[in-house]
C-alpha cells in the first residue's frame, strides 16, 4: 500500500514517524520485472510522455544513481522503447543480444530516417525532456550526422524499393548536408522508380516549356522514354522559401540530384557535341513546342548553340497549314513576309512560314524570335522566297502578267541591293 499522491508535499519525517517506510530497490525490482512480463505492462503501455511516465523516469534516474548493483540491474531491464513498433530493449552495450548503440531519433529538431538500419529510440519518449533524460542516462545517444549519412547511403545501395526516400532527402537538406557529397549515390523518387543523379532527371512542372509538359507522362510512357520526373510531392516536402544556410530546398535538390526543369541543349555524343536526347524527342514527338522551347530557354541555350548550329538548322519544324520544313528553309511570320505573300497573290502554304505560338509577329515579338536567324530563318523575303513564289505561280491557274511582274519587280529590287553589296 502506498500513501495517496496528496501526501507528496507532506513532511516526510512525520510520515516516517507514523510508520511509512521507503521501499528498497530490493523490493522494487520484483515489482518492476513482474510488470515488464505482464501483458498489460504499465511501463510498456502507458503513454510515454504522460505524467506517470515522467514519474517513472524520475524513479529510473534515482535507480541509476543508487549504490551496489542497482544501476546494472536497472540497465538490464527492457525499459527503452525503440522506434519500431512494440520493440523494447535494455540499455545499450549491456551484453549478449542487446543493442550496441541506441540513438535518439532526431538530430536537433530534424527527424532521423527510421528505415536506414539505425536503432532509434521512440520519438514520443525522446520528445519528453524527463523521459529523454532517463534514456540518455541509460546510454541512448545522439547519432553523428556522418554516421547517419553513411547509413542512408548504405540503405539506398542495398534496397531502394522499400525505403522512404523523401525522409532521407529531408534529413540531408535540413542538416545542411553538402549536396555535392551525396550526389554520387543519392536516390530520389521519380515516376520511373528511384533514380540517381543524371542528365535526364527533371522536376514535375506545369510550365509549358518544361520537360514535364514538353513530353507529358503519357508520351513518355507510350514511347518508353528514359527521362524521369521527380513528382510534385517531393518539391512540396519543404517550403519553397525555406533556406538552410544559403540554399533553398529547390536549390539543394538541384545540386544534389542534377535535376532540372527543361532539357539541356546539347550532350556529348560519339561524333562530338549533339542535340540532347530529350530535345530531339521534343522535335520528334511534340514538334509544335520545339521553337517555343528554344525561345523560352534561349538565355541558357545561346551559350552552346554554336556547337550544334548545323544540327538545329536541320530540325524539321511545323509551318503554317500543317506542313513541316527544315528550320534553315523557313521564314518568320513577319508582316514583310505575309504582306509580300499577299501582294504576290500566292497561297501562304507555298512558303515555309513558321507556325509560331504567337502567330503573326509584330516588331516587339520579332526581337524575341530573331535568334532563329542564326539558323537560317529569314524575316524578310529572300531569293528562296521568290523561287518558291515563282514555283507556286508556275502551277497557278489563271495567272496574269501583273502577278509575274510583281514577283520579278521584287526580285529585281533584291538583286539590286545584293549587287551593290557585292560591289562594295
Partner 1 sequence: MSQSFKSGDTLLTANSDFFLDGDFIYDPEDCDWVNAADCVWKGPDFLSCRTVLKPFYAEEDHLKSFFTATLKIGNATLETIIKELRFRRDSDQKADGQLEFCGKAYAYLESNAHSDEAWMNLR
- Residues lying near partner 1 in the complex (CB under 8 A): 329, 376, 378, 382-384, 387, 390-391, 393-394, 399-401, 404-405, 408-409, 411-416, 418-419, 421-422
The answer to whether residues 173 and 252 touch, using CB atoms and an 8 Å cutoff, is yes
Q: How far is the CB of 369 from partner 1 (least distance, A)?
A: 16
* CB nearer to partner 1: pick between 23 and 401: 401
d(CA 21, CA 243): 58
d(CA 158, CA 323): 52
Q: How far is the CB of 390 from partner 1 (least distance, A)?
A: 5
* CB nearer to partner 1: pick between 63 and 319: 319
Three cell numbers written together for 54: 515522467
Helix 165-174 vs helix 145-158: crossing angle, to nearest 10? 160
Three cell numbers written together for 310: 548545323
* CB nearer to partner 1: pick between 2 and 394: 394
User: In 3D, which of 171, 75, 89 has the Cα closest to residue 125?
Assistant: 89
* CB nearer to partner 1: pick between 94 and 329: 329
Q: How far is the CB of 376 from partner 1 (least distance, A)?
A: 6
* CB nearer to partner 1: pick between 136 and 411: 411
d(CA 83, CA 26): 31
Q: How far is the CB of 311 from partner 1 (least distance, A)?
A: 17
* CB nearer to partner 1: pick between 89 and 388: 388
To the nearest 5 percent, what fractions of the chain are helix, strand and coil?
A: 50, 10, 40
Q: How far is the CB of 202 from partner 1 (least distance, A)?
A: 36
Residue 229 φ/ψ, nearest 5 degrees: -120, 125
* CB nearer to partner 1: pick between 225 and 404: 404
Helix (H, G, I), strand (E, B) or coil at 418: helix
User: E strands along 140-245, which residues?
Assistant: 187-188, 195-196, 201-203, 228-230, 243-244
User: In 3D, which of 332, 325, 378 has the Cα closest to residue 357?
Assistant: 332
Q: How far is the CB of 382 from partner 1 (least distance, A)?
A: 6
Q: How far is the CB of 160 from partner 1 (least distance, A)?
A: 53
* CB nearer to partner 1: pick between 96 and 394: 394
Quote the DSSP letter at residue 326: E
CA atoms within 13 A on the CB side of 350: 22
d(CA 372, CA 356): 12
Q: How far is the CB of 332 from partner 1 (least distance, A)?
A: 13
Amino acid at each position: 500500500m502506498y500513501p495517496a499522491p496528496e501526501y507528496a508535499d507532506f513532511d516526510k519525517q512525520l510520515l516516517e514517524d507514523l510508520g511509512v517506510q521507503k521501499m528498497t530497490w530490493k523490493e522494487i525490482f520484483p515489482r518492476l520485472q513482474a510488470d515488464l512480463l505482464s501483458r498489460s505492462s504499465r511501463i510498456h503501455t502507458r503513454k510515454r510522455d504522460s505524467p506517470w511516465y515522467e514519474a517513472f523516469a524520475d524513479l529510473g534516474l534515482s535507480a541509476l544513481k543508487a549504490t551496489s548493483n542497482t544501476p546494472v540491474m536497472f540497465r538490464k531491464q527492457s525499459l527503452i522503447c525503440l522506434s519500431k513498433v512494440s520493440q523494447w530493449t535494455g540499455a545499450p552495450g549491456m551484453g549478449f543480444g542487446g543493442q550496441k548503440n541506441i540513438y535518439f531519433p532526431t538530430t536537433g529538431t530534424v527527424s532521423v530516417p527510421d528505415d536506414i538500419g539505425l536503432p532509434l529510440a521512440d520519438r514520443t519518449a525522446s520528445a519528453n525532456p524527463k523521459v529523454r533524460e532517463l534514456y540518455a542516462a541509460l546510454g541512448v545517444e545522439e547519432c553523428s550526422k556522418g554516421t547517419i549519412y553513411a547509413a542512408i547511403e548504405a540503405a539506398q545501395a542495398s534496397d531502394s524499393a522499400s525505403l522512404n526516400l523523401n525522409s532521407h532527402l529531408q534529413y540531408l537538406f535540413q542538416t545542411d548536408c553538402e549536396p555535392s557529397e551525396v550526389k554520387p549515390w543519392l536516390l530520389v523518387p521519380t515516376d520511373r522508380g528511384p533514380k540517381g543523379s543524371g542528365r535526364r532527371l527533371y522536376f514535375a512542372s506545369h510550365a509549358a516549356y518544361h520537360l514535364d509538359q514538353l513530353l507529358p507522362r503519357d508520351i513518355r510512357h507510350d514511347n518508353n522514354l528514359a527521362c524521369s520526373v521527380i513528382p510534385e510531392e517531393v518539391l512540396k516536402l519543404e517550403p519553397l522559401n525555406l533556406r538552410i544556410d544559403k540554399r533553398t530546398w529547390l536549390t539543394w535538390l538541384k545540386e544534389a540530384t542534377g535535376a532540372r526543369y527543361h532539357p539541356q541543349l546539347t550532350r556529348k555524343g560519339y561524333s562530338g557535341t549533339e542535340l540532347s536526347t530529350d530535345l530531339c524527342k521534343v522535335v520528334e514527338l511534340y514538334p509544335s513546342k520545339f521553337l517555343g522551347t528554344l525561345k523560352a530557354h534561349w538565355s541558357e541555350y545561346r551559350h552552346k548553340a554554336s556547337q550544334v548550329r548545323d544540327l538545329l538548322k536541320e530540325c524539321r519544324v511545323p509551318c503554317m497549314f500543317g506542313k513541316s520544313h527544315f528550320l534553315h528553309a523557313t521564314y518568320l511570320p513577319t508582316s514583310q513576309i505575309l504582306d509580300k505573300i499577299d501582294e504576290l497573290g500566292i497561297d501562304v502554304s507555298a512558303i515555309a512560314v513558321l507556325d509560331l505560338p504567337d502567330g503573326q509577329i509584330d516588331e516587339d515579338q520579332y526581337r524575341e524570335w530573331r535568334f532563329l536567324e542564326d539558323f537560317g530563318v529569314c524575316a524578310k523575303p529572300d531569293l528562296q522566297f521568290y523561287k518558291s513564289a515563282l514555283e507556286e505561280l508556275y502551277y497557278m491557274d489563271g495567272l496574269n502578267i501583273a502577278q509575274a511582274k510583281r514577283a520579278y519587280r521584287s526580285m529585281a529590287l533584291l538583286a539590286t541591293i545584293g549587287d551593290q553589296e557585292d560591289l562594295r
